Structure formats: structure tokens, C-alpha cells
Structure 1
């Protein structure tokens, strides 16, 4: 068993011979492996490993998929016509496989697929569009397409101003009325465009999450809290997750430990951080060391 990985009986109610392989470089089961979490508080460590076990047979999030099985992930992205922006982004950043961008997926190159930004309309959709546009711009700059990148950045900033024009204070939005709308707006604005928020807005969104989102699945809320600069509150949510799965695993990898599987982070040379008191990720692939 890799150091720091609990035995399967502490994680699941059934045996799984693949369990050690999931954290072992060069294993025969997958083309990659997941990091190990060591020296973490017990509840957080169990949440991480229970979430990891769930994705072995389920649908992992973008970071976990690219780390655990990059070969299969690449094939899956091409077969699915590369329509999942964040999955393509995480795969390219974590593997360095820029050649994927020139591959054909459903009659167009993967890069051209990435250029097709989503439609907006709601606060959540518009915020997602802002985040993806800024990621696309960072990629294009890396590829030398600076004029196109600059134009996309300008449009994204304008879209961000449009999102914030609908902010009503207290974590609420003028055009988001139902609890589901408000939760989606929180996750998208905090997760996709936190750079456009001032300190007051960040604080109000954190307090809104504490007041209103306690019944929401913890993964998405925790990731957004990390993006707002509150990994402490995110860690409490994740440690208390009743049934951690793919979203919680992504929140720990990409939120708490900030594995930057995004083009802006790649461009800036920022991949991960350490969190004193929350443990550390070990056994990382070369791209993250």
C-alpha cells in the first residue's frame, strides 16, 4: 500500500483489489495515478479517499480523470467531440499534451471546439462564459495568438461588468430568484470570475454560503469558497461530507490544494499551493512538481 493511503476497509464497505494501484505510479490498471494525501486531519483524509474510491468506477471530474487515466481521458475527449471545455483544459494542462488541440473531434479541431464559448443569459451562465473566455485567452496567448487573445479578454471583462451590474448585495442577484438560481450563481461567480470581485463582495458571498447553502452538495460550494480565499471554511464542509464523490475530490485537488488545471494558471506558472494544517499532496506527477 502506498504510504499514507488507508486500507480499503476504512474507505468502502467492500474490497477492491485496484485500490493500491490507483495511487501507484506505473501501475497496470490505469495510465496514471492519483496523489496521496498525507498528514491531513482524519475527517478530511477520509473524505478525500472515499471520494477517490467513488470515481474509480464512476465519472471522475476533470483533474482526477487527467491524473488517474490520461490515455483513456484523451480518447474519451476525442470521441465526445471535445465539448467539455474544462475537461480538455485540465487534460492539456496536467499532461502538457498540446498536440491534442490539433486533433479532429467531430469535424473540427479541438482548439476550434474550445473557441465555441457557451451562450449566456442567467447570472450563472454569463459568469461561466467569463471564466471560459479568460481561460481561452490565456491558451491563445501561449500559442502566440495575441491579438485574438486580447480581443477575447476585452469582451470577457465587459461580460464580467454585466454580471456584477446585477449584483444586489448580500450574495444575491436581481435576476436570480429561486434557491437553485442563487446557488448556481454563487458557484459560477465565485468559481469562474473571483478576480472581478472586490473584498466586500467576496465577504458577502462567503456569508451567503454560510447562511443559505448548507443543504447544497458540498463539493461545488467548497471549491467556490476556496476561490474566494476561504479554504478554512471549505475544509470544514469537505470534512463533513456524508457521501463524498467526484465534486468533492475536485474541490480538494483544485480548491484546497489549488492544483491549477486551468490555462491562466498554466500561463502564470502557478500549479498548486500548500495548506498548513490540512496536510499535503504527495506522489504527484512530474507536471505538478
Structure 2
């Protein structure tokens, strides 16, 4: 058993020979492996490993998929249904820019990334902003600076349109239902935190504390990390009842700041984490 990985009986109600392989470099089950979490508070470690157990037989999030099985992930991404964030995480974590030239459904992967989602709601428009900025960062890396600049200008304008609907206190003028409010929080905090001022960030954090405690913790925790409050995220994730792909992504990308986005790749962002969280071992060379 790799150091730091609990025995299978601590995380699941059945045995599985694949369990140690999932954390072992060069294993015979997958083309990659997940990092081990060592020295973490027990409640956080259990959330991490229980979430990891569940994604072995389910669809992992973008980071976990690229880390655990990059070969299988690449095969899945060469389809006309490939998700933007899944492609982004795979390319950033593997450095495989050749994927972008692969064709599927009559278009290259890069051309499919250029097709941003439709907007309309606060959540959808915020998602457009985040993906547009990611696309612009990728295009700059590929030398397409004029197109990147045009996309950045449009994204900034759309971000101003999103914030024009902000009503204060973490609420939005055009949001009517609790589900809409939760989606708006996740998207604005997760996709475009760079456009928020300190007051807005603080109000969104307080809104999450007061109104989103019953939401599934993964996406809320990741958004809190993006708002600069990993301490609040830790409180949600430690001891989560039924952790899965979203909670695993929040730990990898939020608490441990594994940047799997084109802007972070472009900037060469370094991982900075809270003291006392433990450490991720067996990371790919691109992350060390």
C-alpha cells in the first residue's frame, strides 16, 4: 500500500484490488495515478480517499481524470462532446498540445473550444466569461494574440454585464429561485473571481455561509477557495457525508491549488496552500 493511503476497509464496504494501484505510479490498471494525501487532518483525508474510491467506477472530474488515466482521457476527449474544462485540465496537466489539432465531428478540438456556451442567466454568463478568458490565454500561448485580445475585451465587457446585476449581499437582481442563487454563486465565484472587489467577495462568502450549507459541498467549497477562503472550504469538505467527483476536484484544485486552467498555466502560477492541510505526494513532474 502506498504511504499515506488508508486500507480499503476505511473508505469502502468492499475490497478492490485496484485500490492501491490508483495511487501507485506505473500501475497496471491505469495510465496514471492519483496523488496520495499524507499528513492531513483525519476528516479531510477520509473525504479525499472516499471521493477517490467513488470516482474509480464513475466519471472523475477534469483534474482527477487527467491524473488517473491520461491515455483513456485523451481518447474520450477526441469526440464532439468533449467538455471545455476536461480538455483544459488534460492539456495543462499533461502538456499535450497536440490534442488541440485532433479532429472529431468535422472540427478540431481547438475549434470546438472556440464555441463558447450560450448565456442568458447570471450563471451562464459568468461561465462564458471564465471560459472566454481561458480560451484567450490558450490562444496567446499558441501565438494567436489578436484573436486572444479580442476575446479578452469581450469577456471583460460581459463580466461588467454580470456585475451590473449584482444586488449586494451575495444576491442578484435577475435570480429568483434558491437553485438559481446557488448556481450564480458557484459560477461567479468559480469562473470570474478576478472581477470581484473585496466587498463583493466578502458578501459572497457570507452568502454561502448563510444559504448554501445544504448544497453539495464540492462545488461550493471550490468556489470559496477561488474567493480566497480555503478555511471555509475546509470546513465544508472535512467529513463530507457522500464525497465524490466534485469533492475530489475541490480538494485537488481548491485546497491544494492544482491549477488546471489555461490562465494559470500561462502565468506559471505556483501552488500555495493553507498550513496544516497535509501534502499531496506522487504529483506529476509538471506540478512539482
TM-score (norm 1): 0.99
**Alpha-carbon offset, residue 271 of structure 1:** 4.8
Cα-to-partner distance string for 1:110-146 (whole Å, 9 max, x where unaligned):
0000000011000000000000000000000000000
**Alpha-carbon offset, residue 79 of structure 1:** 3.0
Superposition RMSD on alpha carbons, in Å? 0.7
**Residues 40, 278 of structure 1: 8 Å contact kept:** yes
**Alpha-carbon offset, residue 80 of structure 1:** 4.4
* Unaligned stretches of 5+ residues in structure 2: none
**1:206 aligned onto 2:205:** yes
User: 2:81, 2:125 → 1: CA distance?
Assistant: 23
User: 1:80, 1:95 → 2: CA distance?
Assistant: 21
* Unaligned stretches of 5+ residues in structure 1: none
User: 2:280, 2:45 → 1: CA distance?
Assistant: 11
**Alpha-carbon offset, residue 105 of structure 1:** 1.4
Residue in structure 2 matched with residue 8 of structure 1 by the alignment = 8
**Alpha-carbon offset, residue 270 of structure 1:** 1.3
Residue in structure 2 matched with residue 22 of structure 1 by the alignment = 22
**Residues 46, 239 of structure 2: 8 Å contact kept:** no
Cα-to-partner distance string for 1:209-240 (whole Å, 9 max, x where unaligned):
00000110000000000000000010010013
**Residues 274, 280 of structure 1: 8 Å contact kept:** no
- Partner of 1:19: helix, strand, or coil? helix
**Alpha-carbon offset, residue 275 of structure 1:** 2.4
- Partner of 1:79: helix, strand, or coil? coil
Cα-to-partner distance string for 1:28-64 (whole Å, 9 max, x where unaligned):
0000000011110000000000000000000100000
**Residues 81, 106 of structure 1: 8 Å contact kept:** no
Residue 81 to residue 217, structure 1, CA distance change in 2 (3 Å): closer
**Residues 81, 105 of structure 1: 8 Å contact kept:** no
- Partner of 2:6: helix, strand, or coil? coil
Cα-to-partner distance string for 1:214-269 (whole Å, 9 max, x where unaligned):
11000000000000000001001001310000000000000001100000000011
User: 2:46, 2:199 → 1: CA distance?
Assistant: 34
Residue in structure 2 matched with residue 263 of structure 1 by the alignment = 262
- How many matched pairs? 288
